[in-house]
Structure 1
């Protein structure tokens, strides 16, 4: 009988030990949850740039916006034309030293005023600046009506190395007077539109 009474007395101790073990188990789980690790990655994005410049003398290059275009220096006075006269003017374009992309340049006629009747032109490209140089490519064939530009007249410009400007493309405008009318006067403005490649 005493032994029977003693057995129930041991049960609370076993429960107490089990309860203590459960508490330790919970503590171990909290400790394991504290192990963490992370990796991070970042990207920085900066847009490139390019800027087109033009020159009427092959040396000084400037920006020439639509409001103040460069004035072409024709070899013969274009204000005193008669039938059969041919006047020429060199022009060059390049990318400035801050440009970080090559570009494709498209030629178009921006605007024309007055009378250009009887006037045609040709646009050529050469290795060196000046209309007396050997032609390397014809961009606009002779006989093109002044004040108009054929579709898809393009050429490429390369960016420079480091902060140096890119190599210029040298152009020559040749305007021929046909059946012009006495005292007629007019002007035309070409646009060189550059798009990054």
Structure 2
């Protein structure tokens, strides 16, 4: 067939056009992929929290002035009864004040209660009452006018269901908190036996409220 045959000269040209379009299309896809990669931006944020524990300390006093820690039964404060409790007779009532507060630098308020009482020795037929008062004065009148924590007639070996109270931290916290005054009233019963001896140790527990 002659070289000027239009059919023979047209087909290769069409094939070249298709290949060129395929190459161009491939070039567009590659170019688009390069653009997406270059447009990938990154950024970060960091956050930090710092945590410190507060301070918490309950302290007590037998005179309302000098406060210190009595953190174990072995280091219990000795109550100063108004009548010698070592020479009780049936019907005797003896009184002893105690005060508690939150120590300086305590960072939270507290709820307080009598948590336990433990006895030693052989004393029986002895009961007591515990009230909150407005001062270190602890006598029959203070008990009558006080707020009951543990009611009269409670056995020396029991606490029943004591009424708790709140202690407020110092303001600023570098100061000691407000003082709560307590009054113990111990009564010897009619059945008190001669020559008995023993002791009672009360545990007063404070729990932070925040």
Superposed pair shares fold, TM > 0.5: yes
Counterparts of 1:13-52 in structure 2, within 5 Å, are: 13-32=20-39, 34-52=40-58
The answer for unaligned runs of 5 or more in structure 1 is none
CA RMSD in angstroms, aligned pairs only: 2.5
2:136 is matched with which residue? Answer: 129
**Long gaps (5+) in structure 2:** none
Conservation of the 8 A alpha-carbon contact between 1:54 and 1:94: yes
More helix by share: 2
Partner Cα distance (1:94, 1:192) in 2: 11
1:7-86 matches, within 5 Å, as 7-8=13-14, 11=17, 13-32=20-39, 34-64=40-70, 65-86=72-93
> Runs of 4 or more off by more than 4 Å in structure 1?
12-16
Larger-Rg structure: 2
- 1:173 offset after TM fit, Å? 0.8
The equivalent of 1:139 in structure 2 is 149
Higher mean alpha-carbon deviation, 38-47 vs 137-146, is at 38-47
- Aligned-pair distance for 1:154? 1.7
Question: TM-score by structure 2 length?
Answer: 0.79
Closer/same/farther in 2, CA of residues 93 and 19 from structure 1, 3 Å limit: same
Q: Which residue of 1 aligns with 2:170?
A: 160
Deviation at 1:98, TM superposition (A): 2.9
Richer in strand (by share): 1
Residues paired across the two proteins, number: 196
Match of residue 196 from structure 1:
208
How far residue 187 of structure 1 moved from its aligned partner, in angstroms, is 0.6
